[in-house]
């Protein structure tokens, strides 16, 4: 039996909490409610034979993507993952990094902030985004009619056609991160967010001074049912060669190109892993769902809904179904293939060997 397909935050959280066994659980209540009541971020800690080696699996950095991450966490726990892993190393699972987006089925948080663009140094001038500025007005329509999706996509393709030398101009323009359009897409925010502060606290408490391999589960980029382990690492570093051995051809490095993702500013796991004393291996495990145009269309409509729409409307229910389908398709065959990938990415023996190499003296 696999964990059931969940589409409500409360059910996904309960499914996770009821599988924790003897883990040390901690919860961080979010100041705002979800549609079904209180929401929060939960951590579960299983101390292993080596407490100085920690495998982290986190879900919901991008809210709605957390249904997939939560499924992966639950399915691994059902396969006795924590007990097998703790024979070698410790395990930290983080459920719903961005509980607000998770509960409201949004990719962003309560302030329309993309947490994976929020881990920049706010004491410094924030990155400019001239390419996003070109499309900002297109992706923030005031009205939504049956013609809007087609018109938005046409305008986006016209903008892209002005940059014929760069086939990924549009994806980069939209998703690299921007700090000047608070109602726009992939907005990095004006300051560290609630989840940012909680994650820094969790990192200090559980990961400081330890050797860390971190898998942050994401969705909606790439071929349906496949996945990339996306890292941003110096290709000459030891941690990168450990990651290569651990994840093989699934690995892609934003520092050297070849990833489905474009380079981004202020990503969470790479910033937090980079703050640790020892070289860590940290990846966004990115599962493919729907076509990129459908994912972008869903994000634009969801953003319109939260700015101009009404919560109790037929439109609300329809857009939320669209968001869930774009970020967590209800398809048993898809779930089976992403679980297979999760098993191989977090394989206990391969991870134990990776920790051995990460922590061996040069």
Interface contacts to Zn ion, rule CB under 5 A: 62, 65, 218
State the nearest-atom distance from the C-beta of 24 to Zn ion, in Å: 27
Is residue 187 a contact partner of residue 179, using CB atoms and an 8 Å limit? yes
State the nearest-atom distance from the C-beta of 44 to Zn ion, in Å: 21
State the nearest-atom distance from the C-beta of 317 to Zn ion, in Å: 23
State the nearest-atom distance from the C-beta of 177 to Zn ion, in Å: 12
For Zn ion, the closer of residues 211 and 218 by Cβ is 218
For Zn ion, the closer of residues 9 and 45 by Cβ is 9
For Zn ion, the closer of residues 82 and 115 by Cβ is 115
State the nearest-atom distance from the C-beta of 254 to Zn ion, in Å: 14
State the nearest-atom distance from the C-beta of 288 to Zn ion, in Å: 12
Is residue 155 a contact partner of residue 84, using CB atoms and an 8 Å limit? no
What is the number of the residue whose Cβ is closest to Zn ion? 218
For Zn ion, the closer of residues 65 and 279 by Cβ is 65
For Zn ion, the closer of residues 65 and 302 by Cβ is 65
Is residue 115 a contact partner of residue 268, using CB atoms and an 8 Å limit? yes
State the nearest-atom distance from the C-beta of 73 to Zn ion, in Å: 16
Q: In which residue are the tokens 């309960």 written?
A: 14
Q: How far apart are CA 322 and CA 149, in angstroms?
A: 13
Reading the block at residue 276, the tokens are 């640790």
For Zn ion, the closer of residues 129 and 175 by Cβ is 175
For Zn ion, the closer of residues 115 and 242 by Cβ is 115
State the nearest-atom distance from the C-beta of 253 to Zn ion, in Å: 17
């Amino acid at each position: 039996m696999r964990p059931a397909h969940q589409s409500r935050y409360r059910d996904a959280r309960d499914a996770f909490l009821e599988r924790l066994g003897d883990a040390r659980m901690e919860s961080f209540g979010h100041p705002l409610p979800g549609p079904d009541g209180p929401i929060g971020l939960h951590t579960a800690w299983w101390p292993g034979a080596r407490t100085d080696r920690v495998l982290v699996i986190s879900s919901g950095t991008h809210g709605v993507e957390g249904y997939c991450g939560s499924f992966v966490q639950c399915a691994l726990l059902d396969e006795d993952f924590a007990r097998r892993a703790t024979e070698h190393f410790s395990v930290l699972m983080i459920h719903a990094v961005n509980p607000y987006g998770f509960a409201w089925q949004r990719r962003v948080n309560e302030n329309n902030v993309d947490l994976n663009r929020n881990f920049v140094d706010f004491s410094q001038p924030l990155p400019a985004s001239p390419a996003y500025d070109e499309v900002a007005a297109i992706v923030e329509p005031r009205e939504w009619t049956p013609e809007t999706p087609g018109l938005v996509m046409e305008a986006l393709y016209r903008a892209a056609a002005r940059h014929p030398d760069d086939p990924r101009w549009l994806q980069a323009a939209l998703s690299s991160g921007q700090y000047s359009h608070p109602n726009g897409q992939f907005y990095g925010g004006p300051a560290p967010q609630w989840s940012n502060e909680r994650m820094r606290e969790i990192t200090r408490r559980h990961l400081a001074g330890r050797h860390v391999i971190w898998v942050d589960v994401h969705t909606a980029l790439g071929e349906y049912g496949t996945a990339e382990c996306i890292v941003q690492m110096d290709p000459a570093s030891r941690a990168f060669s450990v990651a290569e051995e651990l994840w093989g051809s699934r690995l892609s490095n934003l520092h050297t190109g070849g990833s489905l993702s474009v380079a981004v500013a202020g990503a969470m796991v790479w910033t937090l892993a980079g703050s640790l004393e020892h070289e860590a291996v940290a990846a966004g495990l990115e599962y493919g769902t729907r076509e990129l145009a459908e994912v972008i269309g869903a994000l634009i409509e969801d953003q319109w809904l939260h700015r101009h729409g009404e919560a109790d409307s037929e439109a609300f229910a329809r857009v939320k179904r669209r968001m869930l389908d774009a970020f967590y398709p209800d398809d048993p065959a898809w779930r089976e293939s992403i679980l297979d990938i999760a098993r191989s990415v977090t394989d206990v023996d391969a991870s134990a060997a990776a920790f051995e190499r990460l922590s061996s003296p040069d």
